[in-house]
Structure 1
Amino acid sequence: MFPGATTDREAASYVVVGAPLDATTTFRPGTRFGPDRVRRFAETYDDYDRRTDSRFSALGVGDAGDVRPWDDAEAYLDHLAAELRSVTYDDAVPLLLGGEHTVTYAGVDAVDPDLLVVCDAHLDLREAYDGTPWNHACVTRRCLDDLGVDRAVIVGARTGSEAEWDRADGPDVTVVPPADARAWIDALADDGVSEESVYCSVDIDALDPAYAPGTGTPEPFGLDPREVRDLVRAVAPSADGFDVVEVNDRDDGQAAALAGKLLREFVFAHGDGR
């Protein structure tokens, strides 16, 4: 159980769901350990949050456990989306713990947002990779092209294929490189989010690997933790779903500790903004 997620599933305002998918990782596997690892490294965090003057355990968070994956990624995503959709039907906010970034497809499918805000080192706009459109390198493309998301903002992106950069030039994609992230986040915090429905996804590799080495495809020159924290705080009041993904077991807990803290920051900011 995620620490402090003590509310019964039926009464919860937020529901943590683990999705330990590790099917298409292209470099260092281990995302199957991500959900449990995030829960474990969140155990030391204080329940009380000074900034919002609230307690995590009092905000109605429940933990539904993990949705165990199998070899057919497409079928698994359909099943995971149904599980997450049941959370939204209960007027609760799904909090998805990955697992590889592919699981974001299920979260977006369940929430059906107008805007997808993604923190990611990679564009993830490939049509297919390693012979499949369900690779984690394709997830933002799938959300735009298959699920009808109106617009995606990819914050922290610093690498992609030539074809991906061409796709990113489309009117439905905005790329905010690391050098511009602070100004974009500050403007978002001042002006808010205009779209009616938002889904927020944090790929932990958006952060510089100096801060979060435990991820499958680390990419230098990334975001710092405060930038990602402030983005989550700014987006949360308008968001109907959240995930943090791509944490693996290849470090001493730095990535998992950040992921758990970001999930808590989302809940504190969302609860404070209601």
Structure 2
Amino acid sequence: MFPGATADREDANYVVVGAPLDISTTFQPGTRSGPDRIRRFAGSFEDYDHRTDQHFSSLSVHDAGNVHAWNDPGEYVEYVAGTLRDAVDDDAVPLLLGGEHTVTVAGVRAVDPDLFVCLDAHLDLRTAFDGNSWSHACVTHRALERADHAVIVGARAGSEAEWERAHEDDVTVVSPETVRERGAAAVVDAAEAAVGGLAAATTYLSVDIDAADPGVAPGTGTMEPGGLSAREMGTVVRAVAPHADGADVVEVNDRDDGQAATLGGHLLRAFVFAHADE
């Protein structure tokens, strides 16, 4: 159980679901351990948040456990989407723990957002990778099958074709340098411009842990230097959370001493605190 997620399902305002899919990860696999690892390393956090004057255990969070993964990603994503859609139908906010980034498609399908905001080192705009259209390298492309616009925060890697695709009208890239210079305001401004105002838009927030610099979170499959700091990621998550209708933390693996999982758990809690404080 995610620490502090003590609410009963029927009383929950937030529902945590683990999706330990690990079939298309590249370079360093291990995301099947992500959900439980995030839960484990979140155990060191204080229940109280001084920024919002709230206790996590008082915010009606329920942990529904993990959805056991199998080897058909399309079927698995649709099943997880149904689980998350049940939470949405009960007026709860779905919080997905990955698992590889492919599982984000389940969250997007459950929320059906106007806007997809993603913290990610990679553009993930491929239609297929190594012949696999369900690869974790295709997530933003798939999100745009439902969302009208994608804002990709922290991206610094992609193929030539992906960078060309990123220049189209339905994609905005906010570079790590821009976040460093302007902070979360750069992301909020981009999101506002994309949908003509966040207040009336449905938004889904995805956090690929590799958006962080590998010195901050080395426990991920495809590390890319030059990324965001933990503080920058937290600032962005807290700024977007009040406008979001669902969120996830993905791509955490077991290849470090807990740095990536600790950051992932911190960002999930930061989302809940900021969302509940809206």
**What's the TM-score once normalised by structure 1's chain length?**
0.96
Counterpart in 2 of 1:110? 110
* In structure 1, distance between residues paired with 2:143 and 2:203: 13
* In structure 1, distance between residues paired with 2:187 and 2:153: 12
- Pairing partner for 2:175 from 174, 177, 189: 177
- Residues 209 and 217 in structure 2, CA contact (< 8 A), matched pair in contact too: yes
SS at match of 1:62: strand
Query: Could you say if the C-alpha distance between residues 106 and 162 of structure 1 is closer, same or farther in structure 2, counting changes exceeding 3 Å?
Result: same
Counterpart in 2 of 1:225? 230
* In structure 2, distance between residues paired with 1:247 and 1:187: 26
C-alpha displacement of 1:186: 2.6
Counterpart in 1 of 2:267? 262
Runs (5+) with no aligned partner, structure 2: none
- Pairing partner for 1:159 from 157, 160, 164: 157
C-alpha displacement of 1:132: 1.2
- Pairs within 5 Å for 1:1-16: 1-16=1-16
**What's the TM-score once normalised by structure 2's chain length?**
0.95
Counterpart in 2 of 1:64? 64
SS at match of 1:42: helix
- Pairing partner for 2:220 from 215, 223, 227: 215
- 1:138-161 Cα offsets, whole Å, 9 max, x none, are 0100111x32x1100001000100
- Residues 192 and 234 in structure 1, CA contact (< 8 A), matched pair in contact too: no
- Residues 20 and 35 in structure 1, CA contact (< 8 A), matched pair in contact too: yes
- Number of aligned pairs? 271
* In structure 2, distance between residues paired with 1:251 and 1:259: 13
Q: State the identity as a percent.
A: 65
* In structure 2, distance between residues paired with 1:68 and 1:160: 31
Kindly provide the amino acid, as one letter, of the partner of residue 179 in structure 2. Answer: A
C-alpha displacement of 1:177: 1.1
C-alpha displacement of 1:185: 1.3
Runs (5+) with no aligned partner, structure 1: none
